[in-house]
A and B are shown apart, each in its own frame.
Chain A
Amino acid sequence: METLLKNDLVTPLQDYYNPNVLLNLGPSHPAMHGTLRVMCRVNGETIEDASCEIGYLHRAIEKLAENKTYHQWIVYTDRLNYCSALANNVGYVMAVEDVMGITITERCMYIRMICLELARVIDHIICVAINALDLGAMTVFWMLYTWREQAYTIIEGMCGMRLTTSYARIGGMAYDLPENFQAEMKIFLEGLPKTLDDVEKLLSANRIWVDRTKDVGILTAEECLGFGLTGPVARASGVDQDLRRDRPYYNYSDLDWDVVVATKGDVYDRYLVRMEEMRQSLKILKQLCAKLPGGSIWTEDSRVLIPKKKDVYEKMEVLIHHFKIFMEGIDVPPGESYRAIEAPNGELGYYVVSRGGPKAWRIKIKSPSLALFQSYEHSIKGAKIPDAIAILGSLNIIAGELDR
């Protein structure tokens, strides 16, 4: 027991008797976004060896899926990557709809795409802003957060929540867009690019910022593929991969936008990729808002469509159906589906297995943060402590999604 504790649990580092200092970065550390923990063997400021530990924010979300109905579980998806809850909601209902074979309406699809892109913008805002904050550029942080605030105002109008949105429903959306949506969106779409320009002026050519980020935490394309990285981090390393283009869902193929790819894969490139992706997302949002069709947001599929109150009062069958939907939950036929979306951090996939009934037999989440965190250990070996902070900020690991 003694040896087991010593060697396997307490420190998985190779050299337990190394005289160099063992430094714990996290789980409670200002730069360890939530509850990440890295044990570092430091020699001066150089990290000679590192070992990451996960699980500090584990809430058994996947297990809960087996005990909650499909609709009840939507709220848990908010708590995955809480910086972009809208995208998580949409990804999950896509998978369930796939099992059920539901096609959503045109308007619903557009609203969901708006959700996805808005989520991408606010997630990238957080990532760039926090990365800058960790490197000491606090003004950039506040400048960008002003627009995150505006985005949250929009989201609040859409679904009444700011952080934990729970906006999507199987077969539709919880609410239609509010009346002032286009006006609020216009402010956002016009204001944010100006701030992005200002931020680029402050950072992109700033000698201190460039010195701090260039050639720091380089991941080659091969390493990215080896670690299973996706999203902006992989694209910054030159992996030309974007699920919106490569495995198209909804109608991204009808819109005019580009996949952003960099070459070097250091912190600076990740910052540039995220900045450009925000601009591309704003471009998509602009097109979506212009093309937004009218009509219903709910599919006509009676298995998920909540009956009208009038019919519930007047028709026996409808009353029973209404009762069953709310008391038991929707009945999903046996089957399975894996649907992945290009979430802000990379490929976010939901694998839903149904054996019939209102509850899933198993739901597995493929989260981008897990892969990102396993590459972190590799990235920081040989780096300095400040570099480790810079790299962590650029990977944008969200503990809620990492530990689930």
Chain B
Amino acid sequence: MESIDLFSSLWAYLQSYDFIALLLKLIFILIIGPGLVPIMVWLERRGSAMIQGRMGPNRVGPLGLLQALADVLKFFAKEPFVPGTANKFYYNLAPIIAAVAPLAAFAAIPFGGTVLFDGYETNLQLSNLNIGILAALAFAGLEVYPIMLAGWASNNKYAVLGALRGASQMISYEIAMGLALIAMFLIYGTVDMNQMVAWQGESLFGILPRWGLFVNPLAAMIFLIGIFAETNRMPFDLPEGDAELVAGYHVEYGSTKFAMFFFAEYVAMSMAAALFVTLFLGGYGLLPGMEALAQYLAQVFQLEALGLHNLKTFLGVGSFLMKLCFMLFFYIWVRWTVPRFRFDQLMNLGWRILLPIGLVNLVFTAIAIYFIGSSL
């Protein structure tokens, strides 16, 4: 009897508004998470070509847009080679963790405000966890495991060197990143990302939006450097170091498994960029001028309060995506401009420069908040 109850309650849940909303949000996340990857790859190739005075891929599809698809097909068609001396279990596990961890982090990031529909209010966030941003960071921190596992399990000297680099890089930059984050927590007074976005929705001195970037630029800088290091992007792509370590931790990977690392790298980038946008660029808060646009559109289309709210939410998602795309472009821009660090220089930057700056910034922020309060 009980099983039938369970079944019917499950069936009821499946038909409920909550479930359908969750499903739609899940689909949206799966579009902006992995779906951004081919666009990012395309942007990276065409963008780098633009920077370097080349054409870039322009054969597959219009403007070469389908090149990423062709690449994926190529990867799947390759022989899934496993080196004989590799530790098979960890060798296969590494790309799976790599692909899953950043996607999981996406779940905690809000990409819009609330949608009011049929008396229901839905948060545009997959799961509104009460630990908020810490969950996203915890999942982001998992990204070091695939690097270490892959490097170790491949049984290759270059891969091990890459893994060691990746591990120590991650440790040294997460501390500075964490300090920058704590300073921001003090300012926002919360770890809930929706509340952070709401806090940033106000305006600063009447001219600037009250974004974290303008309130605490130092923390933003440290966090920005941190996410570059965390996602192994140029100039911190030392675990890969294609000139010195051949391909670093994934030197022994090919076909689909390599594609998963590749995919994971870009998802991690989007995820880190989304974190940065939420923390420092006002998240899904409307871009300057969008408020007026919303009012104007509401007038044109004769929208009620409810319609205006949903319209603003829609524009908020648009703002979030625009900010995200800017950050992704910023990644590409930096990558094709600067050379690579040497390993000890990178550690110096992390421990001797960013860590003290982060500490000073934290103490200063705490003092400032004690005196002027977090209201600004």
Residues in A lying within 8 Å of B, measured CB to CB: 21, 23, 29-31, 44-45, 132-139, 142-143, 146, 202-203, 206, 208-209, 211-212, 384-389
Contacts and interface: CB of A to CB of B under 8 A. Distances in A.
B74 interface: no
Contact of B237 (A29, A136, A209, A384): A136
Interface centre among B158, B241, B244, B339 (most CB of A within 10 A): B339
Given A134-B243, A136-B339, A143-B52, A384 B157 contact: no
Contact of A137 (B48, B338, B344): B338
Given A135-B340, A136-B340, A385 B244 contact: yes
List 10 A-B pairs, minimum CB-CB distance, nearest first. Answer: A136-B340, A142-B52, A137-B339, A134-B243, A136-B339, A135-B339, A31-B243, A386-B342, A389-B244, A386-B244
Nearest to B337: A139
A45 B245 CA distance: 11
B246 interface: yes
B339 A209 contact: yes
A388 B341 CA distance: 14
A202 B337 contact: yes
B345 A211 contact: yes
Interface of B: 48, 51-54, 157-158, 161, 164, 234-235, 237, 241-246, 336-345
Contacts of B345: 208, 211-212
B340 A208 contact: yes
A65 B261 CA distance: 51
A30 B243 contact: yes
Contacts of A31: 243-244
Contacts of B337: 139, 202
Contacts of B339: 132, 135-137, 203, 206, 208-209, 212
Contacts of B344: 45, 384
A139 B340 CA distance: 12
A385 B161 contact: yes
DSSP class of B's interface residues: helix, strand, loop or mixed? Answer: loop
A143 B54 CA distance: 9
B342 A138 contact: no
B243 A136 contact: yes
Contacts of A29: 246
A119 to B, nearest CB: 24
Nearest to B340: A136
B104 to A, nearest CB: 30
Contact of A386 (B234, B241, B336): B241
Contact of A139 (B52, B242, B244, B343): B52
Given A212-B339, A212-B342, A387-B342, A138 B52 contact: yes
Contacts of A44: 164
A211 B339 CA distance: 10
A29 B245 CA distance: 9
7 contacts: A45-B161, A136-B237, A142-B53, A209-B339, A212-B341, A384-B344, A386-B343
Given A142-B53, A208-B235, A133 B243 contact: yes
Contacts of B157: 21, 23
B340 A384 contact: no
A31 B337 CA distance: 20
Contacts of A137: 338-339
Contact of B336 (A21, A30, A139): A139
Contacts of A206: 338-339
